[in-house]
Amino acid sequence: MTDDELQHLIEEATFDFTMGDNDDALAKLARATAAAPASFAAWHALAEINFNLRRFDAALGAAERAHALQPDDLFINTTLSRVWMEKGDKAKAEQFGAQAKIQSWKEQLHSPSDSSGATSD
């Protein structure tokens, strides 16, 4: 599967989910993760859809796979925090929430929103 085909499949799955076709969405993401097990985007999409369907064990499994691929990603750390909170493990939720906050700060430092030097005196 090419990168473009993979991206298209993930987008189709996301669209299916937004239209209420949960089984089709999950089937497409299962194909995507099987064809490209190193695809962060596929695993993250699978985690988010399972989370929204309140399938927390499946969401956790997919989120952990995505996290293994990109442990410093802001969004996967946020997803893991949300999953652990729903599963009742506040300590793990806070751990991943803190990692998400750190990544957010790092991103802000690398791309400040306005460096024009204007002040509001």
| Non-local CB neighbours of 101 within 8 Å, separated by 6+ positions | none
pLDDT number for residue 109: 80
CA dihedral 17, 22, 45, 97 (to 10 degrees): 100
pLDDT number for residue 121: 41
Whether this prediction's pTM lies above 0.75 is answered by: yes
Nearest residue to 47 via CA among 23, 71, 31, 30: 30
Over residues 16-61, the pLDDT tens digits come to 999 999 999 999 999 999 999 999 999 999 999 999 999 999 999 9
pLDDT number for residue 115: 46
Q: What is the mean pLDDT of residues 99-116?
A: 74
pLDDT at residue 119 greater than cutoff 60: no
Grade residue 113 by pLDDT with cuts at 50, 70 and 90: low
Question: Where along the chain do its domains lie?
Answer: 3-110
Topology, domain 3-110: 1.25.40
Q: Which two tokens stand for residue 57?
A: 């064990």
Terminal-residue alpha carbon distance, the chain: 56
